[in-house]
Chain A
Amino acid sequence: MNTLDDHKTLLTSNASENKRLLLESMQATDDLIMVHSSIDEGQSVTVCYLAGMTDTQRLDKLLMLYKQDKQLLPAFQLEANVYTVEDAADALASGMSVLLFDDAGSGLVIDTIDVQLRNVEEPASEAIVKGPRSGFTESLQNNLALVRYHFPSSRLKAEFCKVGHLTKTNVTVLSVGGLTNPEILREVHRRIEEIPAAAILESNYIEEWITDNRGTMFPLIESTERPDRVIGALLDGRIAILVQGTPFALILPFVFLQAFQVSEDYAWNYYIGSVMRLIRLLSGMIGMLLPAFYVATVTFHHELVPTTLLQSIASAKEPVPFPAVVESFMMMIAFEIMREAGIRMPKQVGQAVSIVGALILGQAAVEAGIVSPIMVIVAALTGICTFTLPPTAINYVIRILQFGMTLFASLLGYVGIMVGIIMLLTYLASLRSFGIPYLGPLAPFHLDELTDVIVRRSHPNNNLRPNLFRAIERRRFRSKS
């Protein structure tokens, strides 16, 4: 048996021996179909493909064409010649058809894949009111085409690679020539090449391997379902990674404040966009701090509340047997459970959960004297606030941080909250995403860049790209005058 360096078996010139080797290599699977046919006088070929995954009509047509003219086939998405059994098996497994030529010791791979996938739809996780509505699907080719369609530029560069020694997932790295910083791009390629994983089933698998800090809860890489968001990022000098089999693309580097941005901001008038961004920032803060603030105020700092408000808080809290911190933990956990239930449950029973949730957690709990009505308001407002953020992982992180902050607040009041905030800031300042400080452009402080991060500038005023991502080309356009 002829073997190559990394234990690959060469195809032989014997047809039945080839068949046996291939079948063995494919674990004698039942859906492997191998048909022997003659193409020309004297030359015969074994056509191999996986049933159900292959467009057989197309395969027939291609074979007919091939019989007529051997030079034609390259025009029909001919993949490559294969010379080893393993390569042929891999091609088969990924949905290609393989023609094994007898007496030649080589095979031809033809793209005849036919799998039913979802159509392009509006992304469910990132709904918008204004702007392009198409979202990525599970097909890598389609996703790349979507990006190309929305960004038809010759400078858009796509680099293919395969990751995962079992799944051999196709991964595409997108960048813009003359704009993306080549050092970051090289670093991305280096990290992707070094991934030793067996299987890449979703973009998060890649994210966890190539992130700067594997121990952190904060996302150091953004993920999105929207082509326009990917393109916006590419045009800022960032890099996008598309992964086969998932509609979620990765964008890197990522800084913390971008978690509050939505691509829709740029589709509205810039005042509206800016106000929406500020509201998202504010609600992010409320979402993280409001329960803590309530607990601290009720437990330690009564004197800071105006007297009339204090009276109403006190009278509402009077029948409640628990301290404020227990009360707030109960409500927060109940809310998280409701939210998780809301995502998992079948749509038909949705109404039941919301009625039960509203009645039990709202009215009945207050009437039974388990929680105070103010706590219900606090929990509800906190919950709603976290819904305003785009569904990046930061959203979840903020919900987890709520609990920590509330704990700090119950121990030391406002001082505890401040200590928590400072430690959080310190931690965020210590993070980096592909060498970019995670808190930038806030710390290190750059006022000119902050004006396009916290609020948004109008397009004519937005000439300079953020220096943050070290884009080579700083200017977006050549200004007249």
Chain B
Amino acid sequence: MERRIIINNFQMMSLIVISTIGTSSLYAPATLAHYAERNSWYLVLIGGIVGFFNLYVFLKLNQLYPGHNIITMSKQLLGPWLGGAVAFLLLFYLMDVTTWVLCEFSQFFIIALNPLIPQVWYLIAGVLMCAYAVYHGLEVFARVSEIVLIVTVVTFMAIYVLLINQYHPEYLLPVLEDGLLKPLKGTLLSISWFGDLMFVSMIMKHVRLTKSTASYAFGAVGITLLLMLMSVLSCTMVFGGQATTTFTYPSISLIQNIRIFRNIERFDAALVVVWVMSSFIKITAYFWSMLRGLTDWLNLKRPRMFIVPLAVCFVVCSRFKVWGLVELSSFYDSQAWYFVLFQLLLPSMLLGIALIKEKMKKSG
């Protein structure tokens, strides 16, 4: 019998915040501006609201089946065969997301930092640190995530504050000139970022539940929403709606605009810090969830033996998944339904079935 793993509310909150904000806020402004130009903050808002609902689905599922994660839940709910199949799909999705994030992680360095080092080195370095954390378990990387949260939030805040003299609020005008519906084309994309919460259903059973657990969880989405809004707003206010679309990573260009004391500039290194830290938490969270799910799905006795094969598998998958960031972001853009399907629709379906079952039990 393994020792019960417990993390506290704050650790859960930092895990949620980092895995949603850290990686997406760097390029989100560009893709969103593609759809709504200067009104992309509106998309963020809509996405955030759906994000709250998405989180609610996971929390509600956990409330109905305490002590279960989504893998065991679907097995219990739909029976061993159908449930097992759904669990397999979910597992596949978890694995897929891990490789996507790993891929993003390495592409960032190739584009923004140093194109000379081959991608596979970055992948190996990334998977090494994450596998190491997975080996130590949830408690350990949840503790690290607290430090990461503080560093990330402080860095982002500092960036936005340092840019304060370059803001042009008039770039935001006119507000929503095409009505409320037209910018909604990009909603799916925005939802897919905010719904990046699949691992929540895996960690929920390890959170020490208190009265304020739910408020911490929703607070996490709130913080994410705020930071994302700030990132989108400051990009729009500095570059304007149309120019933002032309950047690969608008946030990097933002930082490159910072200049203190006339000649201290190039704070890009700060982004390396934030990017490595937040990607680390995100990849590790998904990696761990994947391993946990695999353990529950196949009733493995010694899950740690699977860390190294999985890690190798992740590197190979990420290496040959896409050939570059352009393809990666266009996939995110055009196939956003794929992510939404798994992180929102499937869990909602499970929740629906669970609620109906509950009702039938009560009435029958």
Contact = CB atoms under 8 A, between A and B. Distances in A.
B147 A443 contact: yes
A303 interface: yes
Interface stretch (B137-145, B166-174, B356-364): B137-145
B277 A426 contact: no
A248 to B, nearest CB: 30
Contacts of B116: 300
Contacts of A301: 113-114, 269
Is chain A's interface secondary structure helix, strand, loop, or mixed overall? Answer: helix
Contact of B10 (A414, A426, A427, A445): A445
B132 A426 contact: yes
Interface in B4-50: 8, 10-11
Given A418-B277, A419-B125, A444-B11, A426 B136 contact: yes
Contacts of B346: none
A430 B276 contact: no
B143 A429 contact: yes
Task: Give chain B's interface residue range (CB within 8 Å of chain A).
Answer: 35 or more
B280 A415 contact: no
Contact of A425 (B11, B113, B144): B144
A416 interface: yes
B117 interface: yes
Contacts, number: 88
Given A300-B114, A426-B133, A430-B136, A415 B147 contact: no
Interface string A409-453: 001111110110011011101100000010100111100000000
B122 A414 contact: no
B277 A422 contact: yes
Nearest to A308: B263
A306 B264 CA distance: 8
Nearest to B121: A412
A419 B143 contact: no
B276 A422 contact: yes
A345 interface: no
Given A413-B114, A415-B113, A418-B272, A442 B147 contact: yes
Interface string B139-156: 011011011001000000
B128 interface: yes
B3 to A, nearest CB: 12
A419 B113 contact: no
Contacts of A303: 266
A186 to B, nearest CB: 20
Contact of B143 (A411, A413, A416, A439): A439
A352 interface: no
B12 to A, nearest CB: 12
B143 A443 contact: yes
B96 interface: no
Most buried by B among A413, A414, A416, A422: A422
Contacts of B51: none
B268 interface: yes
Given A412-B117, A414-B113, A304 B268 contact: yes
Nearest to B277: A422
Contacts of A429: 136, 140-141, 143-144
Contacts of B137: 430
Contact of A443 (B146, B273, B276): B146
Nearest to B136: A430
Interface string B259-297: 000011110110011001100100000000000000000
A304 B125 contact: no
A445 B263 contact: no
Interface in B98-119: 109, 113-114, 116-117
Nearest to B149: A445
Contact of A415 (B132, B141, B143, B276): B276
A424 to B, nearest CB: 10
Nearest to B271: A414
A479 to B, nearest CB: 28
B129 interface: yes
Given A414-B269, A444-B11, A426 B141 contact: yes
B192 to A, nearest CB: 26
B105 to A, nearest CB: 9
Contact of B144 (A304, A412, A413, A443): A443
Interface string A395-420: 00000000000000001111110110
A412 B125 contact: yes
Nearest to A300: B114
Nearest 5 CB-CB pairings of A with B: A418-B276, A443-B143, A429-B143, A430-B136, A445-B146
10 contacts: A300-B117, A412-B117, A422-B129, A422-B276, A422-B280, A423-B128, A426-B132, A426-B136, A444-B10, A445-B150
Interface of B: 8, 10-11, 109, 113-114, 116-117, 121-122, 125-126, 128-129, 132-133, 136-137, 140-141, 143-144, 146-147, 150, 263-266, 268-269, 272-273, 276-277, 280
